[in-house]
Amino acid sequence: LRAAVHGNASQDDGTLSVRNFVLTPGTMGVRNLGNTCYINSVLQSLSHVRAFRNYFIDLLGDESNTGKKVEVGEGTGRHFTRTDTVTCLATLQRSKRTTTRTAGRGGGRGTHAPKPPRDIGAKDESVCFQLHTLMRVLWSGSMTAVTPYAFIESVWRYVAQFRGFRQQDAQEFLCFLLDRVDTELSPPPPPPSSSSPPPPPPPRRRRRRRHRRR
């Protein structure tokens, strides 16, 4: 509590009250959806890597680019519109399906592995865009905790292993996340040139003659 707030605390009748409640950016929590604490631990660790955090916070530019389409990566062809932090929060916590139906409350165990939503948009498919919204919300200092519905649903779309609310390996999720980020930020391979000669045909296999025994 002391790391998250600044102010005067007083105790009356056995209850703790905090005055002048002020949140510190970077101390926001990430709520579990079932047993997704392995995802939260990776996200919180990456959010405190300054170079990683600053890159995704500034992924779509500064506030002067609000309302403008910005390309994610160089030559990738992925253009997203930068929005304000309030819209980022609404996007992050928007669930296009009942994500918490089997998650339970208080981190309950969920065994159901839902399929990714069919109506998910191109923006929601981008893991980099979801990291952009998540990092901005985590370091906004506006809330005590956030529920990353949209981020988890974007992960479900690519890897069936992480679908559902079961406990998974944090290192495997970290490897997937970094690999997916590298894929989205890398430009697509150039199309084959029409002037290049066609590849040679595969060699023909010689047929073996069968000799009849006399």
pLDDT tens digits, residue range 143-155? Answer: 888 888 888 888 8
Instruction: Find, among 47, 16, 150, the residue nearest to 90 by Cα.
Output: 150
Nearest Cα to 34, choosing from 149, 184, 177, 205?
A: 149
| pLDDT greater than 80 at residue 124 | no
pLDDT confidence bin for 70, thresholds 50/70/90: confident
Whether the CB-CB separation of 150 and 121 falls below 8 Å is answered with no
Average pLDDT score over the chain: 74
Q: Where are the alpha helices (DSSP H) in the chain?
A: 37-47, 50-57, 85-92, 122-125, 127-138, 149-158, 170-185
Q: Tell me: pLDDT of 137 over 60.
A: yes
Q: Which residues contact 178 (CB under 8 A, 6 or more apart)?
A: none
Please check the confidence at residue 62 and state whether its pLDDT lies above 80: yes
Q: What is the band of 206 on the pLDDT scale with cuts at 50, 70, 90?
A: low
pLDDT in tens, 81-110: 888 888 888 888 875 554 444 444 444 444
**What is the C-alpha to C-alpha distance for residues 160 and 206, in angstroms, rounded to an integer?**
45
Tokens of 11: 């105790």
Q: Give the separation between CA 112 and CA 115, rounded to whole angstroms.
A: 10
The answer on pLDDT for 165 being more than 90 is: no
What pLDDT does 85 receive? Answer: 85
The rounded distance, in Å, linking the Cα atoms of 203 and 146 is 60
pLDDT at 214 over 60: no
* CA-derived radius of gyration, the chain: 25
pTM check: above 0.85: no
pLDDT at 182: 92
Q: pLDDT over 90 for what percent of the chain?
A: 20
The pLDDT of residue 118 is: 40
**pLDDT at 45 > cutoff 90:** yes
Give yes or no for residue 3 having a pLDDT over 50.
no
pLDDT grade, residue 77 (50/70/90)? confident
Q: Which two tokens stand for residue 122?
A: 């191109």
Alpha carbon 88 to chain centroid distance? 13
| Distance from the first to the final alpha carbon of the chain | 96
